[in-house]
Structure 1
Amino acid sequence: MFTSRQISRRSFLLSSMSMTAALAGCQTTTTATAPAPVPQAAPARPVVAPEEAELQKRYGALEDGGHTIPAVPYQQIDPKFYRQRVPDPTGEAPGTVVVDTASRFLYVVEPGGTAMRYGVGIGRDGFAWQGEGIVHWRQPWPRWKVPDDMIKRQPHLARYSVENGGMEPGIKNPLGARALYIFQDGKDTLYRLHGSPEWQSIGKATSAGCVRLINQDVIDLYTRVPYHARIVVRQSALPEPAAV
């Protein structure tokens, strides 16, 4: 026989055990939710003006593809046309090539809000091209095959025609150390991004429609621009980033 005190104590213990079991049941049916991953922004690249030692290395003489490229007297070029990283003024997606013919700049847009900028020489008035296309073909040390319409204007170039196989690659070749060929809607625009031995033309409008770079710069450009990269050629000037 249990006394009333023993019965009360036994009821309390049974009640406590039931509550513990109920709480344990809730805990086993509750699953912790992992926090959603936070999107990581592209790392920002430093935007600094190249120093003298870097410029000497960047524009010094070099051997490439069996050819000796002479040093460029960069001191005689406006510093704004040196290859350098700048805040991106284009608003285009990373990987896009943008040619600002008015300002004589070429940009390769990078992740993180920056772009690699190059000084360029562009086509004379009447030979300039604008629009969008893709880099359909790339060639180190290309042959220069003069199109028929240029031969009509300059008949002495006929020996470098497509039929004659063009000009041999080399330092004197107008296409320089690299060429990137621009297509639009599946057709060759005859518009090129290419190197040039004529460093004096950078920042000027002297070529027949193409975009020319210092040979040392076009070699660097070639490593950054893959096949089928999108290219935008503008005639209106982009806002120039503030000097660093």
Structure 2
Amino acid sequence: MIAEGKQAVGLNRRSFLVGLAAVGALGLAGCATTGGGMSDADAARIYGPLPNERFPIPAVNLSKLDPKYRRQRVRYDSKEAVGTIIVDPRNYYVYRIEGDGYATRYGANVGRAGFLWSGEAYIGRKAEWPIWTPPKEMIARQPEAAPYANGMAPGLNNPLGARTLYLYQDGVYTLFTIYSTIMPETIGRGVTSGCVGLLTQDMLDLYDKTPVNTKVIVIKA
């Protein structure tokens, strides 16, 4: 990922974010009620630095994150199995079903206007510090991504970040991911071409709890 105010080969991190591609189908709906918010002290602890990662992760600048997007346990009425991931792009949330009428809720960024989608998929594979390869459709829209046609090495500049969950339908990779970001200013916004981003600290929490073949539902926005 690219630190604020810096660029890599003329292509900054925001350009990467708005260029990530995704596909989807089958509109679905959900219902949730919120619980209590996270305290500032807890937020400072949960969103603190991660120095032991392969590429050390900085603390989240909480002044750039609306408190409503902090991770929390909430009431969520769902018949889906424990572990199911539900994406609510209209409200910029990702839920992990915990059972007994509860879910863990994470703030997210989602697809910008014209790139919103809805549907059902599953986690086909997972990756830590993945290589990022821009789809040919993105390169056509953003030629500055062409230098990475054969892949961008892992690291803080890589737009997929520290962890990525890849979504599949019928055995085929959809080009859609749930990825990690160190840019809190993107949470609660539509900035991508359909992919969903969580703060790295939240993504590590979700990633560790999510096995391959986990069901994912994206609610129609």
Coarse TM-score class (shorter-chain normalised): 0.7 to 0.9
Q: Distance in 2 between matches of 1:156 and 1:49?
A: 41
Distance apart, 1:65 and its partner CA:
3.3
Equivalent AA in structure 2 for residue 105 of structure 1: Y
Look up the match of 2:90.
Answer: 102
Q: Distance in 2 between matches of 1:91 and 1:75?
A: 36
Look up the match of 1:217.
Answer: 202
Gaps of 5+ in 2: 1-34
Instruction: Tell me the alpha carbon deviations over residues 21-43 of structure 1, each in whole angstroms, 9 at most, x when there is no partner.
Output: xxxxxxxxxxxxxxxxxxxxxxx
Secondary structure (helix, strand or coil) at the match of 1:223 reads helix
Distance apart, 1:53 and its partner CA:
2.2
Equivalent AA in structure 1 for residue 215 of structure 2: R
Q: Do the aligned residues in 2 keep the contact of 1:195 with 1:213 (CA within 8 Å)?
A: yes
Instruction: Tell me the alpha carbon deviations over residues 129-185 of structure 1, each in whole angstroms, 9 at most, x when there is no partner.
Output: 210010010001111110100000011111111xx2x11111121111100000011
Q: Distance in 1 between matches of 2:178 and 2:47?
A: 19
Q: Do the aligned residues in 2 keep the contact of 1:140 with 1:179 (CA within 8 Å)?
A: yes
Q: Distance in 2 between matches of 1:89 and 1:71?
A: 33
Gaps of 5+ in 1: 1-46, 237-244
Q: Do the aligned residues in 2 keep the contact of 1:90 with 1:98 (CA within 8 Å)?
A: no
State the structure with bigger RCO (CA 8 A, min sep 6), 1 or 2.
Answer: 2
Matched, 1:138 2:126: yes
Q: CA RMSD, aligned part only?
A: 1.4
TM-score scaled by length of structure 2? 0.81
Quick one: percent identity of the two aligned structures?
Answer: 41
Matched, 1:78 2:63: no
How many positions carry a matched residue from both structures? Answer: 187
Look up the match of 2:48.
Answer: 60
Q: Which protein is richer in helix relative to its size?
A: 1
Distance apart, 1:55 and its partner CA:
0.9
Q: Distance in 2 between matches of 1:76 and 1:234?
A: 26
